[in-house]
């Protein structure tokens, strides 16, 4: 696999032309590759071909000349050494199955989206293994707003795979002076860190919308990280992954930035906007809402205490008012910090 990296013959297909898929397409083109990108939204594909700019999801950043627009998922995936999926978690299964017939043997299936599938309660790697167990899977995650990657602002993320050669291959293909990649063999931890932090970001936004300050946000982030780690370890992840880029790193950026649609959605909810309306106003997928439900159900299944996740889940599904949820969290019986 390593021998492919040194030439122009590395072929990359991208399924999903949202902000992140588009930013990564440009990143790869800047590195000298010619990624082909496709999206289910035919109107978006037509706009990309006409404007050479993703005005809907990544406005103001022109597509680099090396990026090609594919007409079908099969065309994007055909012959690719890396098939990158940048679609919401709830749509990954369908997107993967649509492209899978053209995913060649030995290709790396690289997921960059964050979330847990409702119903099955499976991570993206589990879905990929169920649908096509023969492919090499990798996940890329970390503190990485697409808007800033698109502007070539220095960013650092991690990639994880059970195949060390695949990790190192992805690392070499994506690495640049403004985009640094670390390898991490903990696929489960990388996936769960990137998914669970969206729940805490919703909570941070709700606290902002309610008018609270730094103390409240710091408490949510710190205790939220403890909760993410506790659930992640119970599900087979490594504890140290949650202290890294895909854990605390991604948590910081998502809880503090207005680029974060999870935080923005939370702010609206905290201001009194009903959750469904808040989600519609954001105009893009708010993964934290579906992940809150999936994580709460996983925690119940495995007997893990997740009070913050449960409170946020009950708020976004309309069972609790944010102030009731906050009061419930603050008045729980005292406990040792490391229990």
Instruction: List the chain domain ranges.
Output: 2-185, 188-330
CATH class of the 2-185 domain in this structure = alpha beta
Backbone angles phi, psi at 202, to 5 degrees: -60, -45
Which pLDDT value is given to residue 158?
A: 98
Q: What is the 3-state secondary structure (H, E, C) of the chain?
A: CHHHCCCCCCCEEEECCCHHHHHHHHHHHHCCCCCEEECCCHHHHHHHHHHCECCCCCCCCECCCCCEECCCHHHHHCCCCEEEECCCHHHHHHHHHHHHHHCCCCCEEEECCCCCCCCCCCCHHHHHHHHCCCCEEEEEECCCCHHHHHCCCCEEEEEEECCHHHHHHHHHHHCECCEEEEECCCHHHHHHHHHHHHHHHHHHHHHHHCCCCHHHHHHHHHHHHHHHHHHHHHCCCCHHHHHCHHHHHHHHHHHHCCCCHHHHHHHHHHCCCCHHHHHHHHCCCCHHHHHHHHHHHHHHHHCCCCHHHHHHHHHHCCCCCHHHHHHHHHCCCCCCCCC
CA distance 197 to 156: 17
With 80 as the cut, is the pLDDT of residue 280 above it?
yes
Give CA separation, 229 vs 139, 242, 245, 252, in Å. 18, 6, 13, 15
Q: What is the mean pLDDT of the chain?
A: 95
Residue 302, CB-side half-sphere exposure with 13 Å CA sphere: 16
CA distance 86 to 20: 7
Which pLDDT value is given to residue 338?
A: 86
Which pLDDT value is given to residue 8?
A: 57
Active site amino acids = 197
Contacts of 7 (CB under 8 A, 6+ apart): none
With 80 as the cut, is the pLDDT of residue 62 above it?
yes
Contacts of 212 (CB under 8 A, 6+ apart): none
Quickly state the pLDDT bin for 6 (edges 50, 70, 90).
very low
Which pLDDT value is given to residue 3?
A: 33
Judged on CB neighbours under 10 Å (0-12, 13-18, 19+), 221 is buried
Give CA separation, 111 vs 89, 190, 295, in Å. 10, 11, 19
pLDDT in tens, 197-256: 999 999 999 999 999 999 999 999 999 999 999 999 999 999 999 999 999 999 999 999
Which pLDDT value is given to residue 5?
A: 42
Query: Higher-confidence residue: 205 or 7?
Result: 205
Which pLDDT value is given to residue 7?
A: 39
Query: Higher-confidence residue: 301 or 285?
Result: 301
Which pLDDT value is given to residue 1?
A: 38
Quickly state the pLDDT bin for 285 (edges 50, 70, 90).
confident
Mean pLDDT score, 63-73: 97
Mean pLDDT score, 106-129: 96
CA distance 128 to 123: 9
CATH class of the 188-330 domain in this structure = mainly alpha
CA distance 71 to 36: 10
With 50 as the cut, is the pLDDT of residue 313 above it?
yes
Judged on CB neighbours under 10 Å (0-12, 13-18, 19+), 300 is exposed
With 80 as the cut, is the pLDDT of residue 4 above it?
no
Quickly state the pLDDT bin for 159 (edges 50, 70, 90).
very high
With 60 as the cut, is the pLDDT of residue 37 above it?
yes
> How much of the chain, in percent, has pLDDT values that exceed 90?
95
């Amino acid at each position: 696999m390593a021998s492919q990296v040194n030439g122009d013959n590395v072929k990359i297909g991208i399924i999903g032309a949202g902000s992140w898929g588009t930013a990564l397409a440009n990143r790869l083109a800047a590195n000298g590759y010619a990624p082909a990108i496709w999206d289910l939204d035919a109107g978006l594909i037509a706009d990309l071909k006409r404007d050479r700019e993703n005005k809907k999801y990544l406005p103001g950043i022109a597509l680099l000349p090396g990026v090609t627009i594919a007409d079908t998922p099969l065309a994007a995936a055909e012959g690719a050494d890396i098939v990158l999926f940048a679609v919401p978690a709830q749509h990954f299964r369908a997107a993967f199955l649509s492209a899978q017939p053209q995913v060649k043997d030995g290709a790396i299936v690289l997921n960059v989206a964050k979330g847990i599938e409702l119903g099955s309660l499976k991570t993206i790697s589990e879905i990929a293994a169920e649908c096509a167990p023969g492919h090499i899977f990798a996940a890329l995650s970390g503190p990485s707003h697409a808007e800033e990657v698109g502007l070539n602002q220095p960013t650092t993320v991690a990639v994880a795979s059970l195949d060390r050669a695949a990790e190192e291959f992805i690392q070499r293909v994506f690495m640049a002076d403004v985009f640094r990649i670390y390898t991490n063999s903990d696929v489960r931890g990388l996936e769960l860190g990137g998914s669970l932090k969206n729940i805490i970001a919703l909570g941070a936004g709700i606290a902002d919308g309610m008018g609270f300050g730094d103390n409240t946000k710091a408490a949510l982030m710190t205790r939220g990280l403890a909760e993410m780690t506790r659930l992640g370890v119970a599900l087979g992840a490594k504890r140290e992954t949650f202290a890294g880029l895909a854990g605390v790193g991604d948590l910081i950026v998502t809880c503090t930035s207005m680029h974060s649609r999870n935080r923005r959605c939370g702010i609206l909810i905290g201001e009194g906007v009903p959750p469904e309306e808040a989600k519609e106003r954001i105009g893009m997928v708010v993964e934290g809402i579906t992940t809150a439900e999936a994580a709460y159900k996983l925690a119940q299944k495995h007997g893990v205490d997740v009070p913050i996740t449960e409170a946020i889940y009950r708020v976004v599904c309309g069972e609790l008012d944010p102030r009731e949820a906050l009061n419930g969290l603050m008045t729980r019986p005292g406990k040792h910090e490391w229990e």
